[in-house]
Amino acid sequence: MSNSKPASVNQVWLASLAALVVSVAVVGMNLMSKGHAAFNTTSHGPLPWGLPVVTYDYFVSFSIGMAFVAGAALVFNIEGLYASMKRILWIAVAALIGGILVLGLELGHPFRATYAILFNFQTTSPLFWKPILVFLYIWVLLASYAKVSKPGWSPAGMRPLGYALFVTGGFLAAGSAAVFGLMSMRPVWYDPMLPVYGIFESMVMGMAGIVVALAIGHGGVANAPEPTRKLLDGFGRHSMALFTALLLVSVVVRAWGGLWSNLDGLQVWRAVVASPVFWIELIALAAALFLLLQAQGSLLLAAVLVILATFIGRYEFVIAGQLVPLFKGSWVPGLVNYAPSLTEWMVALLGLALNFAIYTFGEKQFDLSASPAS
């Protein structure tokens, strides 16, 4: 284990701890004094899923994306990522922990979900299968990290787990998207092709996360190991550009289709497109694509823009799908009004701070740059 770490690691470590202290204090006080009323959502009202659900879903997708890329590197023998394999899997673990914690704070009775969903045996619902896929994914992810943590691990020996990561990550990404995409009562969400979108969105999130992690862990992408740096400057840049372009086209086409359609429920797209946040998402994706297509464009800035844009997109998608009430009447003549409460923002910050705290703890205490045996 190397004792010398870039200043960026300590800076992110201290910032994440400070954010963690503040967010835990605010969330703890508000939840103890107000309970679930601290959230601007209700379990029986028109908008049950707010910012915490968005954050949970995003962090889990981010974790899946990192593991999916790691699995692809092992399956397709992408040697440039072997030196970063331990770091990639550790970040996937950190993001998963942050996401599960956020969901637990939102649910109120988190342990009930671990058995109630399964023992209801609603096998036709994607929500029945998602916890099963999550449990499988957790097991494979932890087993993979344990394997690469052993000195002298070999890519050949890791390949079976690489296939398992690739398959479970892909199925969980598709399954998570299917939870929304198969809800025909919510026209904004309903899309049988959404599981395919969920897979490549997770992949581009994972690619962006790897770039940010390398920048923090090595004090800059340029300081990453030479095989990884060459991979990122070539195949990595091109593949990330491809998936970013697909993401950009998907956002535009979905908005276009929503504005064109006269199906009841899709009128919410007029409100979405009128929001400045939607245009920030488009501009961020377009700017990231422009940087990725330039030989000397900043990979780090492009990755940060992709992460920002995909979070905005996830927020838009989850919230917009609920703004038209399921049973409209005089009690809600128009769209539902929703804005995250302070507690919801602090829950999101808590999850983000925990992710970075766990990641930088690993950078400080473990050798996340350990390479396999040659």
332: three-class secondary structure by DSSP: strand
The candidate with the shortest Cα–Cα distance to 173, out of 125, 143, 214, 206, is 206
pLDDT at residue 368, rounded to an integer: 84
By the 8 A CB rule, do 98 and 355 touch?
A: yes
Interior angle at CA 366, CA 156 and CA 240, nearest 5: 60
Tell me the percentage of the chain whose pLDDT exceeds 70. 94
pLDDT at residue 160, rounded to an integer: 92
pLDDT band at 219 (very low <50, low <70, confident <90, very high): confident
pLDDT band at 342 (very low <50, low <70, confident <90, very high): very high
| CA atoms of 181 and 193, how far apart (whole Å) | 8
User: What average pLDDT is seen over the chain?
Assistant: 88
Amino acid at 71: G
In a domain, 79, yes or no: yes
Of 42-46, 164-168, 332-336, 370-374, least confident by mean pLDDT is: 42-46
pLDDT at residue 2, rounded to an integer: 44
In a domain, 155, yes or no: yes
pLDDT at residue 200, rounded to an integer: 86
Q: What does each C-alpha distance from 264 to 47, 185, 208, 248, 326 come to in angstroms? A: 17, 11, 36, 25, 11
pLDDT at residue 150, rounded to an integer: 86
pLDDT at residue 308, rounded to an integer: 96
Residue 242: Cβ within 10 Å count: 15
> Which segment, 39-43, 324-328, 361-365, is predicted with the most confidence on average?
361-365
In the predicted model, what is the mean pLDDT of residues 267-285?
94
In a domain, 87, yes or no: yes
> Which segment, 77-81, 126-130, 366-370, is predicted with the most confidence on average?
77-81
Strand partners, 329: 332
Of 175-184, 207-216, 309-318, least confident by mean pLDDT is: 175-184
In the predicted model, what is the mean pLDDT of residues 354-359?
95
In a domain, 2, yes or no: no
In the predicted model, what is the mean pLDDT of residues 62-87?
89
In a domain, 162, yes or no: yes
Of 77-86, 156-165, 243-252, least confident by mean pLDDT is: 77-86
In a domain, 371, yes or no: no
- pTM: predicted TM-score of the whole model, two decimal places: 0.91
Residue 144: Cβ within 10 Å count: 25
Which comes out higher in pLDDT, residue 245 or 229?
245
In the predicted model, what is the mean pLDDT of residues 19-23?
96
pLDDT at residue 330 greater than cutoff 70:
no
pLDDT at residue 279 greater than cutoff 80:
yes
What's 95's domain CATH number? 1.20.1630.10
In a domain, 258, yes or no: yes
In the predicted model, what is the mean pLDDT of residues 284-313?
94
pLDDT at residue 14 greater than cutoff 50:
yes
By the 8 A CB rule, do 349 and 23 touch?
A: yes
By the 8 A CB rule, do 50 and 340 touch?
A: yes
| CA atoms of 50 and 347, how far apart (whole Å) | 11
Q: How many domains are there within the chain? A: 1
Give the chain's radius of gyration (CA, Å). Answer: 21
In the predicted model, what is the mean pLDDT of residues 130-137?
88
Which comes out higher in pLDDT, residue 231 or 329?
231
In the predicted model, what is the mean pLDDT of residues 5-25?
92
pLDDT at residue 43 greater than cutoff 70:
no
pLDDT at residue 1 greater than cutoff 50:
no
By the 8 A CB rule, do 95 and 66 touch?
A: yes
| CA atoms of 340 and 338, how far apart (whole Å) | 7
In the predicted model, what is the mean pLDDT of residues 23-30?
94
| CA atoms of 21 and 28, how far apart (whole Å) | 10
Size (the chain), residues? 374
In a domain, 18, yes or no: yes
pLDDT at residue 265, rounded to an integer: 80
Q: pLDDT tens digits for 109-124?
A: 767 776 777 777 777 7
For residue 349, what are the domain limits?
7-36+52-325+333-364
Q: pLDDT tens digits for 234-264?
A: 888 999 999 999 999 999 999 999 999 888 7
Q: What is the DSSP letter of 43?
A: S
pLDDT band at 221 (very low <50, low <70, confident <90, very high): confident
pLDDT band at 230 (very low <50, low <70, confident <90, very high): confident
